[in-house]
Amino acid sequence: MCIYAPSIMYSPGLHCLLSLDCPSELLLRNMEGWLQFIRPLLPEKGLRVVGEAAHQFEAAGFTVAICLEESHICIHTWPEYGFLTLDIYLCNYLKSNEEKVRYIAEKNVVYFAAKIRQQQELFR
């Protein structure tokens, strides 16, 4: 019986989950504004978008999933509660992308002038 035991432990990536309180109902309803904010931020950090799905709820928030070559970013907003969730995951296939995950998370906190309700980092 042969058991494969790599000499180097591979860490597939960092997954950051954020729950944010946002005082601006307008920002939480403005899907196009968020897309204009996030789209240039990704190539700035060397990330490549391979797909995008977005939905604006009538008289409410929005949900967006951006598929990246390195994985994904998803956002869901609830303006009626002043709340949003953000999910950022980047894999470490060729290099560590942990700094990029944290950078994107922090930029979103600033963009929404948000208070972090909950933040989890999962190393996959």
Which residues does the annotation mark as catalytic?
71, 76, 91
CB burial readout 30-63, b (16+ within 10 A) else e: bbeebeebbeebbeeeebeeeeeeeeeeeeebbb
DSSP conformational letter for 60: S
Inter-residue contact 45 to 100 (CB < 8 Å): yes
Q: What are phi and psi of 39, to 5 degrees?
A: -55, -45
- Residue 71, judged by CB atoms within 10 A of its CB (0-12, 13-18, 19+), counts as buried
